[in-house]
Amino acid sequence: MSTNRSIDLSEAWHERAKRVIPGGVSSPVRAFAAVGGTPRYFVRGKGSRIFDIDGNEYIDLVGSWGPMIVGHAHPTVVERVLESAAKSSSFGAPGPNEVLLAEEINRRVPAAERVRFVSSGTEAVMTAVRLARAATGRDVIVKFAGCYHGHSDALLVQAGSGVITLGLPNSPGVTKGQAQDTVVLPYNDQAAIKELFAARGHEIAAVLTEAVPANMGVVPPLAGFNSFLAETCKQNGSLLILDEVMTGFRVSQGGWWGSVEATESWTPDLLTFGKVIGGGYPVAAVAGRAAIMDQLAPLGAVYQAGTLSGNPVATAAGLATLELCDANLYQTLDKRAAEVAQAVSSALSASGVAHQVQNAGNLFSIFFHEAPVVNFENAQRQDTKAFAAFFHSMLNSGVSLPPSAFEAWFVSGAHTDRDIEEISAAAQLAAKASAATQR
């Protein structure tokens, strides 16, 4: 892969974008603020590869942040989308595709007794929080520092991902009143949970957590942490909201809870899904116990609505994607993720760059940090300059990584042996560039 890459057209388009779009982007991390340089403008993808507007080819380890789990432009997904779009892109009315997708989610995750579709993960979590408050008659929501649950006002308090990348511990425009009922605790800290519930358990409507945090980098829950949260909520009449927007159907056929922790005999009250269930289209969902979910209008008094929710084209893409997510695919994903992580780790070790590989199945990230990361405070200590040098070297070698040290990496079922070989070669150069920043 050549390192002599012209990005003239990407630069021109980005300058043009900045005149009409804030920062030139529709989501902050895309702006390359954390790593410097010009974001690439991608125009085409096929399998494991993506192509920018200048004609440069890259191995994709972003995968649209998870949804492209079967690869770009998979023929089955494309066929279903075209078939549905030919009939109309939207009706604003019920349709079979949303029913079929809800049934598939329920089949894979029995705790999802009812499913309500929305268009983004932010909407899904916002709705779950509203439901929890209505069901319990309480106001306080507990979240964890570094976990990101979308950009609704009450949850932009010590969030992860783009908020960390931009150095914003909160967001202007969020009033004290909107955030006063959100309590933020350190992740993986059972003692902090016990102390809070002892003092304010009667006020707490729900504990909200990512099934595996992946917006401060991948930080798996310590053994028993999620089950502890579930039991604590149950004892105190609170609800547990498990955010599986990232992990849902990415790490296994049943997501994190459905396949990894369901054997521990605990069940979340509400779950949120996104990313994979849309196959690259804007689909997300809130799901959970029927007794809670049926409080949504029109059955109950908790209002939620969306003109494009359950869109027929988007749900067709999601259903086609999920149907391709079988046991063989997950075996491939686990294998490829391990191969990429090993290639990068070996290169960094050979160049003397301190790092940690952390994963939840095939969801993984590389922390440029000398010790294991168990919470947000640990994650913030990593060497972001070393990561930025690594990122740009990889990009110049034709490997597209998330443009932030605080993001998960993604493989797809389309990645090949050749991709792994090229990633390994690129990583050896990038590790040297990273090491140079530490001298």
Active site residue 243: yes
**Residue 69 phi, psi dihedral angles, 5° rounding:** -70, -25
Q: 334, exposed or middle or buried, with CB in 10 Å at 0-12, 13-18, 19+?
A: middle
Active-site residue, from 60, 143, 187, 243? 243
Active-site residue, from 275, 281, 419, 432? 275
**Residue 230 phi, psi dihedral angles, 5° rounding:** -60, -45
Tell me how crowded residue 53 is: count the other CB atoms within 10 A of its CB: 16
The pair of three-digit structure tokens given for residue 63, joined into one six-digit string: 């995968």
Active site residue 139: no
- Residue 207: name the closest of 292, 138, 293, 279 by CA: 138
Active-site residue, from 58, 148, 281, 330? 148
What value, to the nearest 5°, has the Cα angle with vertex 386 and ends 371 and 220? 35
Residues that are catalytic: 148, 243, 275
